[in-house]
Structure 1
Amino acid sequence: MAWLLADAAHQTGRSFRWVIHSAMIIETTDEALGDLREAESGQRGFVLTHDLSYARTFDERINSAAANMARVVALTTDNPVQHARARAIARLMAERTIALGRPLKLGRAGDFAGARAFIASGRGRELMDAITVRTQSFLDEERALQTVRVEAAERRLARSQRLSLAGASTLAILLLLACALLIRGIRRPLAAMMQAMTELGRGQKARIAEGMGSREFTLLARGYNAMADRLELAVAKQATSEQRLQVANIDLQNQGEALRERNDVIELLGGMAHRMQAARTDEELAQIIRVFVPRVLPDLAGALYAHNNSRNLLVPVAYWGGLTLSPDGFPPDACWALRRGRSHCVLEPGADIVCGHASGEELYHCEPLLAGGEVIGVLHLRGRVPRESRFRLTVLTENIASALVNHRLQRSLREQTIRDPLTGLFNRRYMEEALALEIARASRSGQPLSLVMCDVDHFKRFNDEFGHDAGDAVLQAVSAEMRNRFRDGDVVCRYGGEEFTIIAPGTDATALLNRVEQVRLAIAELNIRAGGQRLGATSMSFGIATWTDAMDRDGTTLIKAADAALYDAKRAGRNRAKVSLVEAQRVAA
């Protein structure tokens, strides 16, 4: 049946391929004839209009017609009669091509009159009619052949369908017969097994006879009997197993609860650590500590102290649970946890040494925060820390220590990027950012904003006479004087070299002039020494300008105005302060 179906499919496919073959011959012949006619139209268009584009169309169509006809000749090699007809048509088309090329050649040579005369003579018409008649006869024969092939393909397809239906019916009958025999052979041993299983389910001792009529059911019966024996043995041990399972289940529940609690703590500490790493200010860090530590260690008041390197004190960063602390902090030696480098707790009054920062009757726990042997801070908790919370405390202190180190590093890096290393003043980059920010604030609030540009008079003299170390000493001295004399809200920056810039929010040039004069007089009175020798008199010139709405928002115009006032002060003899001409004119008006 499979061979018959495969042969029928092969014959049907072959018939359809012959149908497609005839269709391809017909289509290609039509295209060749159409190309020849379009070439003739292109020739006449060129001769009549003298337009070369028609000549190019002629060449393309002639080549296409020749190629298509050559393909038809190749496709008809299986049919000698059609092949002979195709070759005859190809020869006629070649002769017609030569005839069509004659007027085209005359036209390209410029003899369009001769070309038109040749076309009018009608010499090629008879040849074209012969091509048309032969082509039509060729196509009629191929279409008839195609019809015969289509009918043959349809007959083979119908035969394949009849074979498929007959084969499917036969296979269905055989399958039903096989299923009936199989069901008959399974029903008896299956009934015996079901009866044995039912008795076993009722608690009876039931076994299956091994003679089941087939090797598979015999093996299944042996397996069932072995299972029943093991089941009886397991029932005997059931009481002991149940007791062990209950104990194991209780332990597992306790461990699962502990794991869930530890997982919740880890998740909570992870969220806290992410927030602490993202904190940018001390207040943000303190807020995170106040929010998360009571959730990690509930019912325990406490405080976090951070080590201040400059003062060598532990100062409070955050506290919670109603504690009241002194903002002054305490020295590291006052905490026994920092002295010992490990936890220190007082669980009962008088049970251990009391830290200097705790009261005598207080029960507390101090956990040191160390990094690389360096004191970072201390976590002080009031009350007893339960044993089950020790894991929380350990992970909590590690996260807080890491966050404090990271926070200190970020602050140090920030200071390095915005501070001038020689003078300790803000650098030019920070000045530009701060100026743009203050201009935006002044624009919104309407408050005045002034800028001072100043530099050291005859600064080159110090470097030339005493060396660059003396120049550095002068810059450091005048920087310290300006930092002390200007307000805390003023931003004092080193602009570059011996030039300095002061951003003064909330002040106009007139009010700022008095303060600048005080700074100028103080600098003139400095007695600067370097390398054991006095450097001589020091003076500075100042230029002051106030921002207006007409100036650029980035501060460029304001800097230029203050710089122009500084040059006015230089030209007027140095050691003086000048207000921007624009500001002076505005005040006068």
Structure 2
Amino acid sequence: MALLAGLLLEGSAQTRASLAWVIHSSQVLKTANRAMGHLQQAESGERGFALTHNPEFGETVEAEVGAARAAAGELVILTKDNPAQNDRAVQIRTLIGQRADLLEQIAKQTRAGDFTGAQAAVASGRGRYLMQLVEARVSDLLNEERALSTTRTDVVDKRLSYITWLVLGGVPLTMIFVGYTAATLIRRIRRPVDAMMTVMGQLGAGDRAARIDAHMESSEFERLANGYNAMAEELEGAVADQHESQDRLHVANAELSRNTEVLRERGEVIELLGGMAHRMQAARTDDELASIIRVFVPRVLPEIPGALYAHNNSRNLLVPIAAWGGLDVASSGFAPDQCWALRRGQSHFVVEPDSDIVCAHVGNQTDHYHCEPLLAGGEVIGVLYLKGVVGTENRFRLTVLTENIASALVNHRLQRGLREQTIRDPLTSLFNRRYMEETLALEIARASRSGSPLSLVMCDVDHFKRFNDEFGHDAGDAVLQAVATEMRSRFRDGDVVCRFGGEEFTIIAPGTSAVTLAARVDAVRQSISELIVHQGGRALGSLTMSFGIASWEDSMERDGSTLIKAADAALYRAKREGRNRVLVDARSETLTA
């Protein structure tokens, strides 16, 4: 099992590393395209400025040129791991810088009123030549990076196949080993029991010389065998007192039978609890864990109704996990101080009226019950409530049962916590981008099968950089947390609200068209514009957001990339048209119509 776990961990680590390289290639591709896009926008703005003399186009040139330079610089940093790609990135940065200088020169001439000179510079063809060089270098870089991405994706597929075969082969072998161990344990119990039963049968038939000579394989059975042999020796030496010897024989025989029955029952209980523990360790959800408990606990403790309670996340309530035997329990649970077993850290039970203090969570209607605390690592994690009397013969069953349940609850909560960490953004507690991409692909497949609508919202905080520049990054974090809280409370339970990255957020809205969703999104926009965020005892000023909405259609890519681009384009258009607004992608409006 340790070897299987080690191989799986090693395979997972290699897969994670390969995925990191695939993501890196994706970042390089996106950054290169972004640099090219900003440069093309700047070129369009420059032409508009020179032709229309509209100063708004001049502002676009400066912003897009700055963004193109920044993206080119980021591209050089991202490709440092690959010398060939880095050389191409450096060339791209140089060419973009030259083209940007020319654009800024033309914009400067236009602002100075030298429109003739600006138009002459545009008509000279140098800008077009530089742009062709940029496009050629970017195309070379993109082709090379796509080839690298394909190679790295193939490596990930191979490693995932390796892990799959490892699981398919290792898990059956482990199960065979566990089954073999259980069979060996049962055999080691049954063999001495059979030997003792054989000798007892011989003795009952009148053979007083019969003795247990077989190897008992355990100290408990050895003590039983030695006790039996000593009894037989004494019986043989006391033939004169036949009646007394017969009484002693009956007593010893009854004791052996009881011990044998106890051992047999304990063997069955251990086997049953082994199956229960194996299933609880494999449970993935709270409902699965509750179903296992409802099935197995009544078999371990038959005819005793009960319920299992566990601490909630705040540890201020014991909430019901499962109930069995027809017992009805309140879903609200009860406070820890209402149970004497939790207060004392040990069993607490009432076998008849007024025999002990009754727990507050039981009420006054029960005159016999049993509360058993669940302990793991010295910590109380819950309580097992049984509406009945747990006799001496069931104490062993109850002890082993509570140990198994406590261990399973701790393991289940650990697995659930680790899962939450992998899909949640630590700052805003929203789902992260990885979870968003997985969920979007799943919802697209569902919408494609059912024909139901699916919409996506891309949004970000307007002028977010101002908060960081004026008040510091802590203020920027406070703004993101306030926005996340507001969106989480405003969108439906079925909508998936995610942090896309930085100040950008994404909302997946299944079963809703873009036009229908726009009204709800506008209400969210209005509520955010009314927020007053405080940080460090000071108000951070007004806060607005821009939103872009797009709907899925069959012509889009199944991985969601086309849908994201459409929503992002609508968001960008909302930014250009003045921010603090909700815009729907043009194709989505046509699709809805």
TM-score where L is the length of structure 1:
0.58
Residue in structure 2 matched with residue 447 of structure 1 by the alignment: 452
* Alignment size in residue pairs: 356
Supply the distance in 1 between the matched residues of 2:541 and 2:456 (Cα, whole angstroms): 29
1:455/1:500 contact within 8 Å kept = yes
Note the C-alpha offset of 1:245: 7.2
Supply the distance in 2 between the matched residues of 1:259 and 1:571 (Cα, whole angstroms): 80
Supply the distance in 1 between the matched residues of 2:319 and 2:235 (Cα, whole angstroms): 70
Deviations 1:317-365 (A, max 9, x none): 1111111111111101110000110000000111100000113241100
Does residue 493 (structure 1) correspond to residue 488 (structure 2)? The answer is no
* 1:447 aligned partner, one-letter code: S
Deviations 1:28-60 (A, max 9, x none): xxxxxxxxxxxxxxxxxxxxxxxxxxxxxxxxx
Supply the distance in 2 between the matched residues of 1:311 and 1:368 (Cα, whole angstroms): 15
Q: Structure 1 pair 391/443, CA: closer, same or farther in 2 (3 Å)? A: same
264-273 or 564-573, which deviates more: 564-573
Q: Structure 1 pair 569/236, CA: closer, same or farther in 2 (3 Å)? A: closer
Does residue 585 (structure 1) correspond to residue 590 (structure 2)? The answer is yes
Q: 5+ residue gaps in structure 1?
A: 1-232
Note the C-alpha offset of 1:266: 0.5
Secondary structure at the counterpart of residue 478 of structure 2: helix
Does residue 410 (structure 1) correspond to residue 415 (structure 2)? The answer is yes
Residue in structure 1 matched with residue 528 of structure 2 by the alignment: 523
Residue in structure 1 matched with residue 377 of structure 2 by the alignment: 372
Does residue 254 (structure 1) correspond to residue 258 (structure 2)? The answer is yes
Residue in structure 2 matched with residue 28 of structure 1 by the alignment: none
Supply the distance in 1 between the matched residues of 2:528 and 2:295 (Cα, whole angstroms): 49
Does residue 298 (structure 1) correspond to residue 302 (structure 2)? The answer is yes
- Find the partner of 1:357 among 357, 361, 383: 361
TM-score where L is the length of structure 2:
0.58
335-344 or 525-534, which deviates more: 525-534
Deviations 1:202-255 (A, max 9, x none): xxxxxxxxxxxxxxxxxxxxxxxxxxxxxxx99985958996877655544432
1:457/1:541 contact within 8 Å kept = yes
- Find the partner of 1:572 among 561, 577, 585: 577
Note the C-alpha offset of 1:480: 0.7
Residue in structure 1 matched with residue 351 of structure 2 by the alignment: 347
Supply the distance in 2 between the matched residues of 1:235 and 1:322 (Cα, whole angstroms): 52
1:269/1:396 contact within 8 Å kept = yes
CA RMSD of aligned residues (A): 2.2
Deviations 1:543-563 (A, max 9, x none): 101111222222111111111
Supply the distance in 2 between the matched residues of 1:321 and 1:236 (Cα, whole angstroms): 52
Residue in structure 1 matched with residue 292 of structure 2 by the alignment: 288
1:305-344 equivalences under 5 Å are 305-310=309-314, 312-344=316-348
- Find the partner of 1:279 among 279, 283, 289: 283
Secondary structure at the counterpart of residue 364 of structure 2: coil
2:514/2:592 contact within 8 Å kept = no
1:382-531 equivalences under 5 Å are 382-531=387-536
Residue in structure 2 matched with residue 191 of structure 1 by the alignment: none
1:15-30 equivalences under 5 Å are none
Does residue 533 (structure 1) correspond to residue 535 (structure 2)? The answer is no
364-373 or 266-275, which deviates more: 364-373
Supply the distance in 1 between the matched residues of 2:235 and 2:348 (Cα, whole angstroms): 57
Q: Structure 1 pair 234/564, CA: closer, same or farther in 2 (3 Å)? A: closer
Q: 5+ residue gaps in structure 2?
A: 1-232
Supply the distance in 2 between the matched residues of 1:434 and 1:587 (Cα, whole angstroms): 23
Residue in structure 2 matched with residue 164 of structure 1 by the alignment: none
Percent identical among aligned pairs is 73
* 1:279 aligned partner, one-letter code: A
Note the C-alpha offset of 1:412: 1.3
* 1:340 aligned partner, one-letter code: R
2:570/2:584 contact within 8 Å kept = yes
Which of 1 and 2 has greater Rg? 1
* 1:431 aligned partner, one-letter code: M
* 2:498 aligned partner, one-letter code: C
* 1:384 aligned partner, one-letter code: V
Supply the distance in 2 between the matched residues of 1:402 and 1:234 (Cα, whole angstroms): 48
Note the C-alpha offset of 1:444: 2.1
2:293/2:322 contact within 8 Å kept = yes
Supply the distance in 1 between the matched residues of 2:234 and 2:390 (Cα, whole angstroms): 48
Note the C-alpha offset of 1:470: 0.6
Secondary structure at the counterpart of residue 271 of structure 2: helix
Residue in structure 2 matched with residue 60 of structure 1 by the alignment: none
* 2:358 aligned partner, one-letter code: V
Q: Structure 1 pair 386/506, CA: closer, same or farther in 2 (3 Å)? A: same
Secondary structure at the counterpart of residue 328 of structure 2: coil
* 1:335 aligned partner, one-letter code: C
Supply the distance in 2 between the matched residues of 1:448 and 1:517 (Cα, whole angstroms): 19
1:118-137 equivalences under 5 Å are none
Secondary structure at the counterpart of residue 449 of structure 2: helix
* 1:310 aligned partner, one-letter code: S
Supply the distance in 1 between the matched residues of 2:432 and 2:578 (Cα, whole angstroms): 28
Supply the distance in 2 between the matched residues of 1:495 and 1:453 (Cα, whole angstroms): 9
Secondary structure at the counterpart of residue 372 of structure 2: strand
Supply the distance in 2 between the matched residues of 1:457 and 1:474 (Cα, whole angstroms): 11
1:32-51 equivalences under 5 Å are none
Q: Structure 1 pair 253/575, CA: closer, same or farther in 2 (3 Å)? A: same
512-521 or 577-586, which deviates more: 577-586
* 1:512 aligned partner, one-letter code: L
* 2:376 aligned partner, one-letter code: A
Deviations 1:391-439 (A, max 9, x none): 0000101111111111111121111111111001011111111111211
1:349/1:360 contact within 8 Å kept = no
1:349/1:361 contact within 8 Å kept = no
